[in-house]
A and B are shown apart, each in its own frame.
Chain A
Amino acid sequence: MLAVDLAGDGVKAKNGSMVAYDGRIGFKKLTGGGDGLRGMVTRRLTGEQMEVMEVKGHGTCWFADRATEINLVDLRGETLYVEADNLLCTDSGLRTGTTFTGLRGASQGNGLFTTTVEGIGRAAILSDGQAVVLRVSPRYPLQVDPGAYVAHTGKLKQTLQSGVNFRTVLGEGSGEAFQIRFEGEGLVYVQPSERNTVGGNV
């Protein structure tokens, strides 16, 4: 559960994630993910839909979603890449948008696009179980199961790596046929659980 203290300022949060509040707080649905008209059109086109509300006022507001774990990410000008489903709440000063992820998204079953959060402030992301934050540096590239990937920050190049061979076709696959390989400099958030993915059963 996430508690946000508001003093006249506002946050953007996933629709319907408020569980309690005290003080005077108003909730306003933002159409099309709250990134303006252009963002709305992009989201419609890309299918990376995000139902967002603006929460504003004085008091404390508590957010939660399906008893999943909440992780806070401090952003100082970097970009956070996160799936729309995993984004709970952002400071209103942060800009959200969509970006193309390529094949990786397709293997996750989350579509070809992902959500970006940019600016200075704090964002809350959701994970099934407490997330593990892993640092990627040029010396230590990281491989992640697509189903366990939640979010990443920093300058990272991601490539889809596959271990598919004739045994996979024979039904003797390893269950780890696809991994996302992260190279560069940044942090990757991994959840201790796997979503059902197309690649996960191979």
Chain B
Amino acid sequence: MSGPAVFDPQTLPADDNVNAYTFCVDLHGQWFLQKGKMIAYYGRISFDGVGHGRLDRLVAGSFHSPLHAADWVVAEGEGKMLLADRAFDVNSYDLEDGNLTVRSGNLLAFQPGLSLKQSVIPGFLTLIGTGKFVAASNGPVIFAEPPIRVDPQALVGWADCPSPCHHYDHQYLRGVLGGVRALTGLGGASGEEHQFEFTGAGQVLLQSTEQLMAERDTGSVPGQPGVPGGPPAPQQGGPQSRFGL
């Protein structure tokens, strides 16, 4: 048996995966990384927390929610840099003048050509622009075309403009008994009564497990009525209205 492949700066791939769990960035300039995802590098690279000094302008261009800029690091310099995240699968994606929304915990790194915004959906981040980004997933990622209904735990993100909404399976939830069943789990709940539904043109990214990756705080949203995740709007009815009772 031959030994494992040995890499040096010449043989490391440029902007590609080294193995399923490690991504190599050929750095000439700047990249944004989430804190603590760099595992090794060759060359001269400096790491700075964003949100101060000469990087301030960059932040203004790429981060539109300074509230969570503290979780990000700017890698600057020349060299090859290896990124990985808790031995999860990592993949790179190219965006060309497009947009992609991804679960906050899954995003690892992106080029400054992209700008990062908080999604209106709590816990998700949206990338807009042109460039490459790296995201982690628990198991390989599957691309699916809408219309599709997906399990909330398997959802990694979506590109372009499908419209995501909640979907409740009325077969289970119809009637008083169904409501009781869904709330308590008594009488057998399949665990699949609730899905996310996507319609419209675009792509939906799914991971091949229902094990979630740890969420990362995306920063709080301005506390005003009408903002999802903000203070609750005055309730119209009780929780029964959810089930059509």
Given contacts A132-B22, A137-B8, contact A194 B49 (CB under 8 A): no
Which residues of the partner chain A approach B90 to less than 8 Å between Cβ atoms?
192
Q: In the complex, which residues 167-200 of chain A have their Cβ closer than 8 Å to any Cβ of chain B? A: 167, 171-176, 187-188, 190-194, 200
A59 contacts partner chain B, Cβ-Cβ < 8 Å: no
**Contact present for A190 and B39 (CB under 8 Å):** yes
Given contacts A72-B3, A134-B8, contact A172 B49 (CB under 8 A): yes
Q: How far is the CA of A188 from the CA of B21 in the complex (A)?
A: 17
Which residues of the partner chain A approach B87 to less than 8 Å between Cβ atoms?
69, 128-129, 191-193
B35 contacts partner chain A, Cβ-Cβ < 8 Å: yes
Interface size on A, residues (CB 8 A): 39
Q: In the complex, which residues 130-170 of chain B have their Cβ closer than 8 Å to any Cβ of chain A? A: none
Scoring B residues 1 to 37 as 1 if CB is less than 8 Å from chain A, else 0, what string do you get?
1011111110000000011111000000000000111
Among A11-19, A106-114, A138-146, the one that faces the other chain is A138-146
**Contact present for B40 and A174 (CB under 8 Å):** no
Q: How far is the CA of A141 from the CA of B18 in the complex (A)?
A: 19
Name the one of A72, A130, A188 contacting B40, with C-beta atoms under 8 angstroms.
Answer: A188
Given contacts A192-B21, A192-B22, contact A167 B35 (CB under 8 A): no
A133 contacts partner chain B, Cβ-Cβ < 8 Å: yes
The bracket for how many chain B residues form the interface is 35 or more
**Contact present for B41 and A143 (CB under 8 Å):** yes
Which residues of the partner chain B approach A176 to less than 8 Å between Cβ atoms?
35-36, 38, 47, 73
Scoring A residues 148 to 169 as 1 if CB is less than 8 Å from chain B, else 0, what string do you get?
1000000000000001000100
Which residues of the partner chain A approach B5 to less than 8 Å between Cβ atoms?
133
Q: How far is the CA of A176 from the CA of B42 in the complex (A)?
A: 15
B177 contacts partner chain A, Cβ-Cβ < 8 Å: no
Given contacts A134-B40, A135-B7, A135-B8, contact A174 B21 (CB under 8 A): no
- 30 pairs across A/B with beta carbons < 8 Å? A69-B87, A72-B1, A128-B86, A129-B21, A131-B4, A132-B19, A132-B22, A133-B3, A133-B5, A134-B7, A135-B6, A137-B8, A143-B40, A163-B47, A171-B70, A172-B49, A172-B52, A172-B70, A174-B49, A174-B73, A175-B36, A176-B35, A176-B36, A176-B47, A187-B6, A192-B39, A192-B90, A194-B39, A194-B84, A194-B86
Binding site for B on A (CB under 8 A): 69, 71-74, 128-135, 137, 140-145, 147-148, 163, 167, 171-176, 187-188, 190-194, 200-201
